[in-house]
Structure 1
Amino acid sequence: MDRSPRYSIDSSSLMHGWCRVYRPKNFGFIWDRIEALAVEGRLSASIEVLHEISKKDDELFKWCKARQEALFVEVDDACQAHLARIMAGYPRLVDTVKGRSGGDPFVIALASSKGKSCSVVTEEHPGKMRIPDVCRAEGITCIGFADLIEQEDWRFA
C-alpha cells in the first residue's frame, strides 16, 4: 500500500500561491509539480473548490479548468457521508450570511474520506470556526502551501 502523503487543497491555497507567493512566471516548476501530484492521485480538490475559483475568470481559473479531470473530484458517496457529519457537527463553518466558505466543508470531507494520510492544505488560520479548527477537532492534519512544498522536499535547482 502506498503511504505517500495525500492532500485535499483549498481554494485559499491555490489563490494565495498563484496570485501572491508562487506566481507561475517565476515559480512555474511548483505548478508543474502540483499538476504531477494531481496526476499521481495524491493531490485533489473538491469540485466545489473549482466553483469558488470560477468566480474570478482569471489565469488561475484557466489553469485549473485545463486540469479539471486530474485535479478536481466530484462528491462521491464516501465523501458525502463525511460531508453530512461535518455539516451537522460544525454548522458555523459555512458563512451563509456573507455567502462565503461554501467549499470549506467539502475540502475537509474529502480529506476525511481519504483517511489519515490525507492532509488539508489551506491558508486559513484558526479563528471563529475555520478549516483549521474543524481539522484539529477531527484529527486531520492541516498545513499551508509552503508546508506542502517542504513536505514534498521541492527545491530550487
Structure 2
Amino acid sequence: MAYCLDSSSLIHAWSRTYPIEHFPSLWANIKNGIDSGLIFVCRDVLLELEKKDDGLHDWLKQNLTESQMLDLDGEVQNQLRIILADYPKFVESRGIRNGADPIVIATSKAHDLTVVSEEQLSLDGKRVKIPNVCQDIGVNCINFMTLIKEVKLRI
C-alpha cells in the first residue's frame, strides 16, 4: 500500500502535532518514505502549501525531486473529471484555497493510493469532504496518525 498526502495532514503534522524541530526523525522517515515510493505528494499540494509561510513548503521543495511529485497524467485527469461531475459542490464549497483536494483523490484513485487527510467524514450532507468522496468512490482514506501506525514511522 502506498499513500498520497493531502495538505491538511501535512499542515497538521508540521505545525500542530509533529513540528520538525521536535520530531526530526519523523520527517527524516517521511523523506525515506517518499524516496522509496511509499509516500507521494501531488504537485498541486505543493503549490497549495506555497501560500503558507511556515517552512513546510520549503522542506517539501528540498526533499522532493521532480519525478517524485505526482502530476495530472491522463488517468488522473479522467478520474478528476468524474469526481468534479459527480460532486460539483466539492469544489464550490472549498474555493481556491482547497483546490488540490479533488486532485489528491483523483490521483489516489488512478494510482491505487490511500489518501491521508485530517478531514472528518461529514454526516450532515451539507458539505462534501475528502473522506465522503473517498468512501463513495472506493478510495481508502486515513489520517496522519494511522499512516504513522501502518507504515511504522519512527517519531
- Report if the CA contact (8 A) 1:43-1:71 is conserved: no
Equivalent residue letter for 1:112: K
- Report if the CA contact (8 A) 1:95-1:102 is conserved: no
Unaligned runs of 5+ residues in structure 1 are none
Report the TM-score when normalising by structure 2. Answer: 0.90
CA-CA distance at 1:98 after TM superposition: 4.3
Could you say which residue in structure 2 is the equivalent of 1:16? 12
Could you say which residue in structure 2 is the equivalent of 1:135? 134
Mean Cα displacement is larger for which, 79-88 or 69-78?
Answer: 69-78
Could you say which residue in structure 1 is the equivalent of 2:153? 154
Unaligned runs of 5+ residues in structure 2 are none
Q: CA-atom RMSD, angstroms?
A: 1.6
Cα pair distance change 1:30/1:155, threshold 3 Å: closer
Equivalent position SS for 1:124: coil
Could you say which residue in structure 2 is the equivalent of 1:48? 44
CA-CA distance at 1:65 after TM superposition: 1.2
Could you say which residue in structure 1 is the equivalent of 2:110? 113
CA-CA distance at 1:93 after TM superposition: 1.1
CA-CA distance at 1:64 after TM superposition: 1.0
Aligned residues: 150
- Report if the CA contact (8 A) 1:93-1:129 is conserved: yes
Q: 2-side partners of 1:155 and 1:31: how far apart?
A: 9
Equivalent residue letter for 1:85: I
Mean Cα displacement is larger for which, 61-70 or 89-98?
Answer: 89-98
- Report if the CA contact (8 A) 1:121-1:143 is conserved: yes
Equivalent position SS for 2:92: coil
Report the TM-score when normalising by structure 1. Answer: 0.89
Mean Cα displacement is larger for which, 99-108 or 16-25?
Answer: 99-108
